[in-house]
Amino acid sequence: MRGSPTDRRPTPLPGRLRRTAFTAAPAVLLLPLLGAAPPAGQSSAASVRLQGAFGAAAAEYGVPRSVLLGVSYLQSRWDAHGGAPSVTGGYGPMHLTDARTALAEAPHHSEGTEDARGDDSRPPLVAEADLPESSELPSRLRTLTKAAELTGLPARTLRTDAEANVAGGAALLAAAQRELGAEPSADPADWYGAVARFSGADDRATAAAYANEVFAVIRDGAGRVTDAGQRVALAAEPGLRPDTGQLSRAGLRAAAADGAECPTTVSCEWIPAPYEEFGDNDYGNHDLADRPTSQRIRYIVVHDTEGYWDTTLELVQDPTYVSWHYSLRSTDGHIAQHIKNKDVGWHAGNWYVNAGSVGLEHEGFLASPDAWYTEAMYRASARLVKYLAAKYGVPLDRQHILGHDTVPGPTTATIPGMHTDPGPYWDWRHYFELLGKPFGATSGKDSAMVTILPKYADNRPEFTGCVSGGEPCAVHGSSAVRLYSEPAVTSPLIKDIGLRPGGDDSTIDVNDLGSRVSTGQQYAVAGRQGDWTAIWYLGQKAWFQNPKAKPTAVGAAGLVVTPREGLAEIPVYGRAYPEARAYPAGVPAQAVSPWPYKLLKGQKYVAGDRVPGEYYYAVSFDTSGHRVVVGEDLYYEIQFGHRVAFVRAADVRVLPAA
């Protein structure tokens, strides 16, 4: 995402879309059982209220309490988000949707100046979207209106009052049960069909995947402290076996299997992005390849669509637009695949990354200053990423599971135009818990290397620009930690000479990445002073608050790079391309293109993979001329600033962090 959120125009689901069958019940993902401590001053009575609200609503509407708690957990993990809407206009613990408050206008890849393909061997591709006309929102994006009719409660109350919101969700579940012709029942097993209908999905596979997730939560149980400091618990029912046959009465269309590359534990369909030629060797919207045989898949890139699902699907099917491998729907976690993983999508703004990555677009945009993502989408995304990582040997860490905001600009000129999604409100800590690779300390408190790890709900840095330039964003939990030039909040923020070549100061704008780090990223320690820790960042010593009582980073062990003996400074790159002599006849040599930053003597940066220089030459529709060029020069990927970067292996020494 780049720029402030704007009104957006939703579109209907295309009638021609095909869905794949869901074939297996999922094994439950890792459930975090502990949340943040209640905020100071939070009364114990408040903690009782939300738990009691689930019981009261269950009794009033005849819905088993465990079903109500399970559905709510999958929607929001029981968080209320202070009455703010999710990325698709959902409110409260039950994610009741009222998306007319968050309509869309400018799709993600049409914002900013980033060339989504990211290859300067072709003219820049800055996508322009031909948006469909506005039309009525699908029913899954207006469930709050129906809940208001069923409960008699005002829509405003359902949006802002968590207890009323729970009642609205219970009313919707009870209505779904009636629509199936079933009687109210105290047995959770009798509610599988109603839960499937509650998802809002219009096909059987997606509804089944959603219901299976809910019942997996109920079987395993869960417990946490919500963002409002209220303790909620769901006792485990390990023997629960729902009546899945109810789904046949739900009136949902069947879906046929069609070869989408997804794990069996998610709902997935194939909606192909077109590979078409327009004449004069102009073509789109991706490149054919033979990965991983021809080149490794090293990265998985997490994006935020900055648009609704329906608009996103229309755009990826436009041959003149750009492409990515998968889209994920917010309301229920449904997945669509658009190009085969063997092929190269145009999504990350860096051809080196594109040629070695799979791109995932997650439905959402900053509909409000503190937009949030549903648990259903987080969990579906985590299942997909675990599947892809295992299939292609991608390590589950922040140097391989990249946010679009951590993809480097390939050249100096591209740095200011790179995208900033999924932004500071994506919960990386929770995401990696779901991936089964939770972040944690791997070294002592005085370690020479740290992992950034604030508590999401408690970490609330100030941002501006969510609604309009310079205006404060609403206070909200965040994965981001701010960096200062000295150990004091009154000192200037760290400057980014690539982002602002004129030397202007960094800002706290929500899209300004010049002076912040993100959860899970690792850096070499440059100093400590009281409650402050310094790290090496963009060639500078950068300070962040890290109090012992409320740490924002933990000790880590690993390898770091520093300039080899005799070098006062070394260049840093946004791509790891081969040396000129590696290119065969007919393939133009690509510039390695150092950035304006320098890695200086005495500085250290956390090292990731050592990789060969590699370039995928694919500039024509006819694939016979495509080549993978691999050089002899080796590079190390490093965590240099907010984004990753590369240094030549010949320029550095690799040392244990100590």
pLDDT above 60: residue 252: yes
User: How many angstroms separate the Cα of 51 from the Cα of each of 140, 144, 216, 348?
Assistant: 26, 21, 20, 43
32-36 long-range contacts (CB < 8 A, ≥24 apart) are 32/224, 32/430, 32/433, 33/222, 33/223, 33/224, 34/223, 34/224, 34/225, 35/224, 35/225, 35/226, 35/457, 36/225, 36/227, 36/229, 36/455, 36/456, 36/457, 36/458
How far, in Å, CA of 371 to CA of 362, rounded? 13
96-97 and 90-91 strand pairing: antiparallel
Q: What is the pLDDT of residue 488?
A: 98
User: What are the b/e assignments for 615-632, b being 16+ CB within 10 Å?
Assistant: bbbbeebeeeebebbebe
Tell me where in the chain the CATH 3.40.80.10 domain(s) lie. Answer: 108-133+265-424
Interhelix angle 162-179/65-76, rounded to 10 degrees, is 110
Residue with tokens 């609330």: 460
| pLDDT tens digits, 461-509 | 999 988 778 888 888 889 999 999 999 999 999 999 999 999 999 999 9
**For residue 292, cis peptide bond before it (omega within 30 degrees of 0):** yes
Tell me where in the chain the CATH 1.10.530.10 domain(s) lie. Answer: 44-98+142-249
**First CA to last CA across the chain, in angstroms?**
37
Q: What is the pLDDT of residue 129?
A: 62
Domain 108-133+265-424 classified CATH 3.40.80.10? yes
Q: What is the pLDDT of residue 1?
A: 39
Q: What is the pLDDT of residue 487?
A: 98
Give the least confident one: 129-138, 226-235, 448-457, 474-483. 129-138
User: Best-predicted range by mean pLDDT among 130-139, 187-196, 203-212?
Assistant: 187-196
pLDDT above 70: residue 128: no
pLDDT above 80: residue 598: yes
Model confidence at 39, pLDDT cuts 50, 70, 90, reads very low
Q: Average pLDDT in the 126-141 region?
A: 66
Q: Average pLDDT in the 373-383 region?
A: 95
Q: What is the pLDDT of residue 26?
A: 35
Model confidence at 366, pLDDT cuts 50, 70, 90, reads very low
User: What are the b/e assignments for 452-475, b being 16+ CB within 10 Å?
Assistant: bbbebbebebebbbbbeeeeebee
Q: What is the pLDDT of residue 307?
A: 75
User: How much is the pTM?
Assistant: 0.89
Reduced to 3 states (helix: H, G, I; strand: E, B; else coil), residue 373 is coil
**Residues paired with residue 554 on neighbouring β-strands, in sequence order:** 451
Reduced to 3 states (helix: H, G, I; strand: E, B; else coil), residue 386 is helix
Give the list of residues 6+ apart from residue 483 with CB closer than 8 angstroms, or none.
493, 494, 515, 516, 517, 535, 537, 542, 543, 544
User: How many angstroms separate the Cα of 258 from the Cα of each of 18, 207, 270, 284, 586?
Assistant: 8, 18, 7, 23, 39
Q: Which residue has the higher pLDDT, 141 or 334?
A: 334
E strand or H helix that includes residue 204: helix 204-220
Q: How far is C-alpha 522 from the chain's CA centre?
A: 19
Q: What is the pLDDT of residue 343?
A: 98
Mean pLDDT of the chain, nearest integer? 88
How far, in Å, CA of 213 to CA of 475, rounded? 31
pLDDT above 90: residue 597: yes
Q: What is the pLDDT of residue 113?
A: 77
Burial label for 194, CB within 10 Å (0-12, 13-18, 19+), is buried
How far, in Å, CA of 606 to CA of 448, rounded? 10
Q: What percent of the chain has pLDDT over 90?
A: 72
Do residues 344 and 628 lie in contact, with contact meaning Cβ atoms separated by under 8 Å?
Answer: no
User: How many angstroms separate the Cα of 526 from the Cα of each of 18, 136, 449?
Assistant: 54, 55, 9
Q: Average pLDDT in the 316-343 region?
A: 94
| pLDDT tens digits, 105-121 | 455 666 667 888 888 88
Q: How far is C-alpha 630 from the chain's CA centre?
A: 31
Do residues 198 and 216 lie in contact, with contact meaning Cβ atoms separated by under 8 Å?
Answer: no
**Residues paired with residue 225 on neighbouring β-strands, in sequence order:** 231
Q: What is the pLDDT of residue 114?
A: 80
Burial label for 418, CB within 10 Å (0-12, 13-18, 19+), is buried
pLDDT above 80: residue 607: yes
Reduced to 3 states (helix: H, G, I; strand: E, B; else coil), residue 254 is coil
pLDDT above 80: residue 540: yes
Q: Average pLDDT in the 422-445 region?
A: 95
User: Best-predicted range by mean pLDDT among 45-49, 82-86, 225-229?
Assistant: 225-229
Residue whose C-alpha is closest to residue 207's, from 195, 216, 217, 215? 195
E strand or H helix that includes residue 518: strand 516-518
Q: Which 8-state DSSP code applies to residue 339? A: S
Q: Average pLDDT in the 268-274 region?
A: 94
Domain 44-98+142-249, architecture per CATH: Orthogonal Bundle (1.10)
Q: What is the pLDDT of residue 276?
A: 94
Do residues 377 and 370 lie in contact, with contact meaning Cβ atoms separated by under 8 Å?
Answer: no
Give the list of residues 6+ apart from residue 609 with CB closer than 8 angstroms, or none.
298, 399, 400, 636, 637
Residue whose C-alpha is closest to residue 421's, from 574, 645, 642, 97? 642
Q: How many helices (H) and strands (E) does the chain have?
A: 11, 28
User: Best-predicted range by mean pLDDT among 35-39, 275-279, 511-515?
Assistant: 511-515
Model confidence at 566, pLDDT cuts 50, 70, 90, reads very high
Interhelix angle 65-76/375-392, rounded to 10 degrees, is 60
